């Protein structure tokens, strides 16, 4: 339900986190120039592990969707002005707005809702 209430940028962030199974900080640091030969090369911030994620299927469709929006910055995820998303500021406020809307909608529909943080999405992609 949070996904339905989210702005396009937050939807893209949710999809990117889910499809790549990376930590939020690593998702926000992903750049277009990290894409080489049909793969996204990621160096994880916490462990310094290097990964190569093939760009196929839903992941390829996601990247195409982001490009067609027309506002493309250096990072894959960018705010409406093309600036890189940071964990605080636009990203955090927009995610909170979507989560609050979803919680309100769930209450109206009588559906139980558990508040969660963006980082909790990583466990879902495993």
Read off the pLDDT of residues 67-114 as tens digits, 9 standing for 90 and up.
988 767 789 999 888 888 888 888 999 999 999 999 999 999 999 999
**CATH class entry, domain 2-120:** mainly alpha
- Model confidence band, residue 126 (pLDDT cutoffs 50, 70, 90): low
Tokens 């839903």, residue located:
58
The pLDDT of residue 72 is 72
In three-state secondary structure terms, 81 is coil
State how far Cα 79 lies from the chain centre: 12
The pLDDT of residue 122 is 84
Residues 6+ apart with CB under 8 A from 67: none
pTM over 0.85: yes
Do the Cβ atoms of 66 and 123 come closer than 8 Å? Answer: no
Domain spans in the chain, listed from the N-terminal domain onward = 2-120
Q: Tokens for 44?
A: 């994880």
Mean pLDDT of 44-58: 93
């Amino acid at each position: 339900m949070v996904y339905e209430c989210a702005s396009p940028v937050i939807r893209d962030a949710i999809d990117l986190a889910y499809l790549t199974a990376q930590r939020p900080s690593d998702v926000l640091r992903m750049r277009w120039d990290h894409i080489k030969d049909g793969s996204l090369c990621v160096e994880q911030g916490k462990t310094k592990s290097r990964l190569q994620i093939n760009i196929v299927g839903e992941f390829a469709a996601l990247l195409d969707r982001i490009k067609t929006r027309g506002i493309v910055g250096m990072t894959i995820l960018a705010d409406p002005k093309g600036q890189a998303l940071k964990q605080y500021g636009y990203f955090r406020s927009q995610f909170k707005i979507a989560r609050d809307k979803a919680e309100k909608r769930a209450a109206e529909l009588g559906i139980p809702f558990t508040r969660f943080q963006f980082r909790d999405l990583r466990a879902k992609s495993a």
